[in-house]
């Protein structure tokens, strides 16, 4: 068993052990009120109560049963005191937790059980029958209010998650359209070369057969490279005609120096390292590697809060490795944005792998591994 797993198991055993001892502790603490709770006992009671309430979010049924058992027993022990108010408040808080985190049917059932326990406890005070109606009314109103608050939190959270999912889907669609634009540039460029070479070869085939042979060789190499790229991008369907598609050649790793200079102008120094034997890459891999570095550096400038990072380009035997590491604070919770979604889309289309997350020594790390096809090697 690993140290981390042993720590989790030990923590769970201690937590649930304390929770199981909670009902008898509360009962005897209330039973012994003649001596007074005292600061130490009061703080311990509060700490154990908070622990059980925290367990309600993860294991609602057993934790709620322990909480109910503890304070129903305490209210029965101290008849006529204000313990029923504490019991009602704690059980209502627990119901609010469950209503915010679980399904409506589950939270309604739990609220009904809690309300029944509260009313039965109030009815067990035969010396105060006149207060039963008023107490029951208070308990019902309080339970309805906390359930409505918790349920509204759940509904808002579900709505926010739905909006996030829709925004992510739109980001994926936009990224696919961008990839389609870039693929269009690659194909148009290759087909243009093929047309030029074919025309030149046709004009000189009778007078200069050597030049015609060279033209045919260039046509074969270009068509094979384009066909290989189309096969790897087969899953990408172009659903809309983008406006203003760029006419310039698609960028690649040769343009990293320009990207590094632009990043330096934004206040972040980039340590660019190239490992392995540098060689030409298929256009779609070269472009995707450049876009991954570009997006990772954009995230460093916007979110990392650091003045330096490292970019490593590794040319392996059968893959291209791209790594961007910074020592900043990393993205804030909920502010990751959709840049990583676009990276994963690109890498997935090329049958590669992307790892993104906190670095081993702090900061943030993005690593993409793009397989290089055998024909390119």
- Are 71 and 86 a contacting pair, CB within 8 Å? yes
Please check the confidence at residue 254 and state whether its pLDDT lies above 60. yes
pLDDT number for residue 318: 87
Taking residues 348-374, report their average pLDDT: 85
At 263-307, the pLDDT tens digits run 776 678 889 999 988 888 888 888 889 888 888 887 887 778 788
- The dihedrals phi and psi of 139, each to the nearest 5 degrees, come to -65, -40
CA distance 129 to 104: 34
CA distance 67 to 148: 21
Q: Which residues of 113-128 are buried (b: 16+ CB within 10 A; e: fewer)?
A: bbbebbbebbeebeee
pTM for this predicted structure = 0.49
At 150-197, the pLDDT tens digits run 899 999 988 988 888 888 788 777 777 767 666 665 666 567 667 777
Q: What ranges do the domains of the chain cover?
A: 3-129, 253-371
- Are 192 and 247 a contacting pair, CB within 8 Å? no
Q: How confident is the model at residue 262 (pLDDT cuts 50, 70, 90)?
A: confident
Q: Which residues does 181 contact at the CB level (< 8 Å), separation at least 6? A: 242, 245, 246
Fold of 253-371: Heat Shock Protein 90 (3.30.565)
Q: How many CA atoms lie less than 13 Å away from 172 in the CB half-sphere?
A: 14
CA angle (371 as vertex; 365, 373 as ends), nearest 5: 160
CA distance 64 to 159: 27
Taking residues 142-157, report their average pLDDT: 90
């Amino acid at each position: 068993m690993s140290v981390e797993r042993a720590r989790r198991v030990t923590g769970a055993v201690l937590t649930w052990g304390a929770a199981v001892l909670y009902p008898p502790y509360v009962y005897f603490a209330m039973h012994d009120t003649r001596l007074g709770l005292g600061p130490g006992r009061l703080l311990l009671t509060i700490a154990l109560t908070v622990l059980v309430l925290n367990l309600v979010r993860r294991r609602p049924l057993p934790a709620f049963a322990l909480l109910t058992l503890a304070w129903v027993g305490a209210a029965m022990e101290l008849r006529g005191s204000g313990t029923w108010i504490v019991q009602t408040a704690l059980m209502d808080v627990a119901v609010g937790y469950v209503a915010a985190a679980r399904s409506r049917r589950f939270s309604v059932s739990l609220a009904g059980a809690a309300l029944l326990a509260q009313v039965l406890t109030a009815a067990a005070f035969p010396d105060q029958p006149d207060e039963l109606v008023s107490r029951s009314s208070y308990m019902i109103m309080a339970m309805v209010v906390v359930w409505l608050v918790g349920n509204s939190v759940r509904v808002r959270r579900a709505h926010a998650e739905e909006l996030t999912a829709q925004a992510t889907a739109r980001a994926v669609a936009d990224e696919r359209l961008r990839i389609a634009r870039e693929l269009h540039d690659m194909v148009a460029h290759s087909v243009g070369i093929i047309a030029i070479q074919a025309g030149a070869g046709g004009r000189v085939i009778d007078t200069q057969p050597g030049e015609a042979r060279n033209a045919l060789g260039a046509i074969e190499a270009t068509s094979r490279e384009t066909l290989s790229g189309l096969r790897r991008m087969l899953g990408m369907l172009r659903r809309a005609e983008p406006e203003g598609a760029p006419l310039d050649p698609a960028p690649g790793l040769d343009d990293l120096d320009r990207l590094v200079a632009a990043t330096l102008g934004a206040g972040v120094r980039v340590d660019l390292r190239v490992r392995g034997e540098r060689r030409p890459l298929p256009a779609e891999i070269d472009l995707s590697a450049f876009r991954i570095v570009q997006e990772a550096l954009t995230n460093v400038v916007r979110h990392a809060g650091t003045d330096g990072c490292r970019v490593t380009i590794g040319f392996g035997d059968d893959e291209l490795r791209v790594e961007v590491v910074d020592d900043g604070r990393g993205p804030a919770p909920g502010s990751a944005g959709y840049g990583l979604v676009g990276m994963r889309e690109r890498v997935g289309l090329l049958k590669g792998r992307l790892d993104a997350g906190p670095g081993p020594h702090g900061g943030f790390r993005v690593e993409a591994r793009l397989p290089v096809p055998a024909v390119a090697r």
